Structure 1
């Protein structure tokens, strides 16, 4: 009897090893590609085409287990667990002394480093890449019917560091949403290849096929957003009926779960949320009062090229529109973007007019939003916005424990507390190669809220309720009132 039992055990062990080997082999073959898309999946665009079917997750059977795998916070790959760690509780307290003591230890991933070449190799095994960055099924968020009925489209601009891009994408990712990444045309080939290969592990993440060489304050910055927006608009509603589009930069990070974002967007009642101002200074007026052109070369004292003002006066905007100032990152309805970028002659005219202005991404959207026939638009603007929390350096009383870049604080561990409770849905700016504390601890807060009921959370991390826009946010003049 004992001999038969041992023989059976050996047989079972051999069977398990054989099945495991087959699953690993299957996993290497299961990476979806453009040339051989899996049936029923959202098909990635080939050059010159964009064909889509309903998005579904293409997960090899070997990934069906371990859906709640927790990450070890001491590992440099750990960007979130299902609870808020002791180290993150210290960081979220904002106590600079305690954080300083924590920095002396090696129990926290202060730098999260992964080069683009390594990511290309990692993406050869989609299970490894998904696990590394905690995409599903290695992070199993509870997705409600409310979320499934309200898909979101994301546009992400980036020019380097695919590691950072994937950290952001993994935080906002849901299987029923859709995500477009625009890689700057001047990015390295390694960066482009890494993002392209990583995107092939997902049926609802793709790289924009048309790319802009982005120059600061130039129309190329606006066009980069538009490249992704147009490709997302080509996705038929039968495949992904996204309601709003949120445009982000790779160094942004969410402060809300997907459900909390959905509930905030629903409070907008079908209106765009485009923060901006009607009253602008003479300094801002110069952006469109004169013609701006790119120099032949970047100034020696500047690290980047940007437009310079000429003495030539610019023509007035089309359709008697009023120049205003908006924020570059907002929430846009699908109907508004289709109208502004595809259907409207006004949109085409304003975009052409904006080509030789300064930073047109900071006036185009609000000018279109205020046009009387704009879907989801309004003639009003009062600075109300929930898109991004930014710690600006214009006040002498503001400290920054990361570093200042373009008068914006790159969040350090000692700064995380001040942005963790922000009412804005996204925070800028994080750099995980400088200090990964922000994304690490923010991801833990989000993971906890997305998986653990309120009553079971040991930390003070209650669900975030939507901010209710003021009544004037919803006012809209009649079309008969004429153009602004």
Structure 2
């Protein structure tokens, strides 16, 4: 009986040892997986390793119960994997027959027509708004030290369609950048309130407090840009020490990732990049040789109001400056804008002189850029610009546009995307997602792939954008006073 008891004890001891070993094995290999955050919580990627996120587009809430969860962070895809959708691959090839067949399908969103009330309601849940438009953290991208050391400020002019504004902002947004939106004072209350509520979901998206009633070719167009620029200049450098400001309108869209934009701006070496021309026609000269005024009676649609020329001759420019023509959308250094808008009597005098000229936003910046001693200023590389690609009709019937023509500019349709996606310019105008959202959808996928997947892992046709090297004259300072206008 005693022997049986000893054997039983020994057997029991061995059983305990075996069970203990199994428990240790289980705790070592299995239990750590329990520490993985639950679905719906943010999984912060290790900045020392490469991560990428497969984009999600237009997923209805009913089909995605976890709409507040960030995109899954996955291991690098196999070589040659392309995260651009099959539909966008067809669109980016530019074959009109294939795109025509694709248009017959129902598995691709051709128009995005959310209204401002929809956006205001969505903004009540910031996680939902961020996820729907794929703002961080719902778009997981590794931000390089190079980008963090080079913050950018953006100024965006808008009149309507907050949905379109958010599509643009989500494409250029980074946590360390800062963004200002000027909503036209003529815009509806719904538009302004929707943008205001959406901005409250972000610490670095502000809506301009002072608002202009923007009239085509009027000083109000320039002042709208200046309102945002001044607010961005007033932001403490300790919070957002931005190096350059890029001004846009809501119907622009980028062709480059944030890193590619940074590398292009670095090539400017602290100079402004303001596109323009020194030689101007007599017709353009009349813009500043005569006084222009708004008519007393406005047409029913206020937006169609524009200045008319009077017989009164306009004074010559202050400080013996020469009238030139610049593009309205450019790249400005912080030092230049502070000098031009806050510190310099030259800037104040030129702004006052420009108030009764025609389209002053198309001479103001370049005249200051060429002024001797202007921070970031230079003589100008005549015609050199990288800001925007625009498809103009120029009254040429052979220039095609598959969206529609507006004021001589092509609103990009799906069949036009292929020819603008490879532009050397950093932004493209004009998109209207309520008319055709294929352009912004497919170009966003191109950007996301370049931002998250290294060249070696990408499919063909979407290589990193190489910075454009400015010509030598771009860096030559203006040393003498300007001549007569």
Which bracket does the TM-score occupy, shorter chain normalised? 0.7 to 0.9
TM-score, scaled relative to structure 1? 0.84
Cα distance change on mapping 1:225 and 1:76 into 2, 3 Å: farther
Aligned counterparts, 1:350-429, within 5 A: 350-394=350-394, 395-429=396-430
Deviation at 1:299, TM superposition (A): 4.6
Q: Partners in 2 of 1:76 and 1:359 — Cα distance?
A: 44
Aligned to 1:482: 481
Aligned to 1:473: 474
The 8 Å contact of residues 390 and 410 in structure 2, kept in 1 or not, is answered as yes
Aligned to 2:450: 449
Aligned to 2:137: 137
Aligned to 2:8: none
Q: Partners in 2 of 1:72 and 1:404 — Cα distance?
A: 31
Aligned to 2:261: 261
Q: Partners in 1 of 2:321 and 2:240 — Cα distance?
A: 34
The 8 Å contact of residues 370 and 478 in structure 2, kept in 1 or not, is answered as no
Q: Partners in 2 of 1:320 and 1:191 — Cα distance?
A: 43
Alignment pair present for 1:226 and 2:221? no
Alignment pair present for 1:170 and 2:162? no
Deviation at 1:65, TM superposition (A): 4.2
Q: Mean alpha-carbon deviation: is it higher for 275-284 or for 450-459?
A: 450-459
- Encode CA deviations 1:193-250: one digit per residue, 9 max, x unaligned: 0000000000000100110010000000000000000000001211111000000000
The runs of 5 or more residues in structure 1 that have no matched partner are: 1-15, 21-60
Deviation at 1:83, TM superposition (A): 1.4
Q: Partners in 2 of 1:257 and 1:388 — Cα distance?
A: 15
Cα distance change on mapping 1:63 and 1:211 into 2, 3 Å: farther
Alignment pair present for 1:270 and 2:248? no
Q: Partners in 2 of 1:121 and 1:167 — Cα distance?
A: 17
Aligned to 1:54: none
Cα distance change on mapping 1:284 and 1:134 into 2, 3 Å: same
Q: Partners in 2 of 1:346 and 1:248 — Cα distance?
A: 25
What's the RMSD between the two structures over aligned residues?
Answer: 2.1
- Encode CA deviations 1:261-291: one digit per residue, 9 max, x unaligned: 0000000111000000000001101111110
Aligned to 1:236: 236
Alignment pair present for 1:151 and 2:133? no
Q: Partners in 2 of 1:301 and 1:343 — Cα distance?
A: 38
The runs of 5 or more residues in structure 2 that have no matched partner are: 1-33, 46-51, 65-70, 72-81
Q: Partners in 1 of 2:217 and 2:248 — Cα distance?
A: 16
Cα distance change on mapping 1:66 and 1:132 into 2, 3 Å: farther
Aligned residues: 423
Alignment pair present for 1:102 and 2:80? no
The 8 Å contact of residues 162 and 194 in structure 1, kept in 2 or not, is answered as yes
The structure whose Rg is larger is 2
Aligned to 1:58: none
Aligned counterparts, 1:11-26, within 5 A: none
The 8 Å contact of residues 76 and 109 in structure 1, kept in 2 or not, is answered as no
Aligned to 2:293: 293
Deviation at 1:141, TM superposition (A): 1.5
Moved over 6 A (4+): 66-69, 300-303
Q: Mean alpha-carbon deviation: is it higher for 168-177 or for 230-239?
A: 230-239
